[in-house]
Amino acid sequence: MKFLIDANIPKSVIDYLINNNFDVIDIKKVNITMSDIDIIKLAQKEQRIIITLDKDFITLIQYPKYQVSTIVIRLKNLKSENIISYLEELFEKQNQNLLNNSLTIINNDQADSFEFE
């Protein structure tokens, strides 16, 4: 899978993704001041899934022109180890095709994917 990692994601989470052979672009290395809409446009162009802690993406990608696969992490405990644990479980249990065509919200109870129409 190909990911575009928002600036709010810890480096150790990025390292986990890279070490597990995911194709990763870290927005901090592209342009840390990039707007959410520009991040969406880059993800669309590169056909990448955005991973973010920013709940604003939930609203933005509801608009058809901004629809891009996104994983929004909404956990109470945002320590890297906890985020990695939830991502591991998501990648193990969730269908890759669904992740590539949906908004996925990870919260403390579960991960829900909402497929785009």
- 3-class DSSP assignment, residue 62: coil
Pairing of strands 102-107, 49-52: unpaired
Cβ contact 99:113 at 8 Å: yes
Q: How would you class 22 by CB atoms within 10 Å of its CB: exposed for 0-12, middle for 13-18, buried for 19 or more?
A: middle
Mean pLDDT by groups of 10 residues along the chain of 117 residues? 96 97 96 93 96 94 92 96 96 91 93 88
- 3-class DSSP assignment, residue 32: coil
Q: Which two tokens stand for residue 26?
A: 């870290």
**Would residue 23 be called left, alpha or beta, if left means φ above 0 and alpha means ψ between -120 and 50 degrees?**
beta
Q: Residue 110: its pLDDT value, please? A: 87
CA distance 4 to 27: 7
pTM (whole model) above 0.85: yes
Q: Which two tokens stand for residue 4?
A: 């575009």
DSSP E strands in the chain: the ranges are 2-5, 23-26, 49-52, 70-74, 102-107, 111-115
